[in-house]
C-alpha cells in the first residue's frame, strides 16, 4: 500500500486522528517535562502535605508535599520509556521466532510454535510478578521482563504472514535467481509482513504502560522517589478518603494514554485493511 493511500484512509478516521493527536501531545509533554513541570517532582515540602488542588498546586500535593502535576508530567517519561523499550524488545524477539518458523517450516516450525504455546500457558502478569519478585525492582528490569514475556503474539502474526508470502511469485522468482535465505527473509518477506506487526506494536505499548503502572502500584515497579503513575496511585490508595486527587488524576492520565494508543492502533489497522470497516 502506498503511503499517500494509507494516510488518506487514516485521516478519514476521526477517532484514529484524535488518538494520534493525544499520543503526539504525550510525546511533547514527556520531552518538555523539565520546562512544563511547575515544581521539582522530588521536592519534599512538609508544609504542603496533602493539599487539595489550588492555584499554587493545580492537581494538589501528595503525602510528602510533592506537586502531583509535576510528578504526573515526569511520570509520562517513565511510561513512554517502558512502553517503547518493552514493546521494541518483544517485537524483535517475535520477528525472529515468527520469521524462522514461517520460513523454514517442518521441525523448526513445530519446535518454535510448541515453545510459543508453552509460553502462552503461563498467565503473563503472574509470570512477570514472579520474575520481578526474584530481581531487584527497577525500570530496566521491568522493561526487559515485559519484553521477554510479551513476544508470542507477534511471533504468531509474523509466522502466519511468512507462510502466506513465501509461496508468492515474487519470492519464488527471487529464489530462482539464487537469493539466499537471509536475503529472502530480510529483503522480500519481512518488509511485506510488517503491517500487522505495526498494529500489534502500537496496541502493545498501551498494554506495557498498564503493566508497568500495575507493578508500580503493587510496589514491584519503578521505585520512589522516581515518579511513576503507578506509585502515585499507591499514595492515593493509602489516602483515598482524604485525598481523592491522588487517585483521580494519575488514573485519568493512564486512561487517556491507553485509550489514545488503542485508538491509534485501531486506526492503523483499518487504514491498512479497509475491509475491517465492513
Q: What is the mean pLDDT of residues 43-56?
A: 89
| CATH T-level topology, domain 81-277 | MetI-like fold (1.10.3720)
Q: Which cell numbers in the block locate residue 220? A: 514491584
Q: Where does the pLDDT of residue 122 fall: very low under 50, low under 70, confident under 90, or very high at 90 and above?
A: confident
Q: Where are the alpha helices (DSSP H) in 121-193?
A: 124-134, 139-148, 152-165, 169-176, 181-183
Q: Is the pLDDT of residue 19 over 60?
A: yes
- For position 1, what pLDDT does the model report? 52
Please, are residues 62 and 50 in contact by the beta-carbon 8 Å criterion? yes
- For position 142, what pLDDT does the model report? 85
Q: What is the mean pLDDT of residues 156-169?
A: 88
Q: Is the pLDDT of residue 254 over 60?
A: yes
d(CA 240, CA 15): 33
- For position 278, what pLDDT does the model report? 45
Cβ neighbours of residue 260 closer than 8 Å, sequence gap 6 or more: 18, 19, 22, 23, 26
- For position 175, what pLDDT does the model report? 83
Please, are residues 100 and 112 in contact by the beta-carbon 8 Å criterion? yes
DSSP codes of every residue in 62-96:
-TT--BHHHHHHHHHHHHHHHHHHHHHHHHHHHHH
Per-chain mean pLDDT for the chain: 87
Rounded percentage of the chain residues whose pLDDT exceeds 70 = 97
Q: What is the mean pLDDT of residues 45-63?
A: 90
Q: Where does the pLDDT of residue 90 fall: very low under 50, low under 70, confident under 90, or very high at 90 and above?
A: very high
Rounded percentage of the chain residues whose pLDDT exceeds 90 = 35
pTM exceeding the 0.85 threshold for the entire prediction: yes
Amino acid at each position: 500500500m502506498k503511503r499517500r493511500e494509507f494516510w488518506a484512509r487514516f485521516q478519514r478516521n476521526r477517532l484514529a486522528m484524535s488518538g494520534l493527536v493525544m499520543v503526539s501531545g504525550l510525546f511533547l509533554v514527556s520531552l518538555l517535562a523539565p520546562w512544563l513541570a511547575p515544581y521539582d517532582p522530588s521536592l519534599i515540602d512538609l508544609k504542603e502535605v496533602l493539599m487539595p488542588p489550588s492555584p499554587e498546586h493545580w492537581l494538589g500535593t501528595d503525602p510528602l508535599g510533592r506537586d502531583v502535576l509535576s510528578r504526573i508530567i515526569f511520570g509520562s517519561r517513565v511510561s513512554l520509556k517502558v512502553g517503547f523499550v518493552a514493546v521494541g524488545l518483544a517485537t524483535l524477539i517475535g520477528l525472529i521466532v515468527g520469521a524462522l518458523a514461517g520460513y523454514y517450516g517442518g521441525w523448526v516450525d513445530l519446535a518454535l510454535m510448541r515453545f510459543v504455546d508453552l509460553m502462552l500457558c503461563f498467565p503473563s502478569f503472574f509470570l512477570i510478578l514472579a520474575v520481578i519478585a526474584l530481581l531487584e525492582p527497577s525500570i530496566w528490569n521491568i522493561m526487559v521482563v515485559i519484553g521477554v514475556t510479551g513476544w508470542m503474539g507477534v511471533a504468531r502474526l509474523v509466522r502466519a504472514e511468512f507462510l502466506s508470502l513465501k509461496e508468492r511469485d515474487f519470492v519464488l522468482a527471487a529464489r530462482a535467481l539464487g537469493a539466499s535465505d537471509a536475503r529472502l527473509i530480510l529483503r522480500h518477506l519481512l518488509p511485506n509482513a510488517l503491517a500487522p506487526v505495526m498494529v500489534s506494536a502500537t496496541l502493545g505499548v498501551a498494554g506495557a504502560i498498564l503493566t508497568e503502572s500495575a507493578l508500580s502500584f503493587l510496589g514491584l515497579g519503578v521505585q520512589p522517589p522516581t515518579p511513576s503513575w503507578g506509585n502515585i496511585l499507591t499514595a492515593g490508595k493509602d489516602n483515598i478518603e482524604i485525598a481523592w486527587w491522588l487517585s483521580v488524576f494519575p488514573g485519568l492520565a493512564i486512561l487517556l494514554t491507553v485509550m489514545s494508543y488503542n485508538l491509534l492502533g485501531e486506526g492503523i489497522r483499518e487504514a491498512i485493511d479497509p475491509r475491517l470497516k465492513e
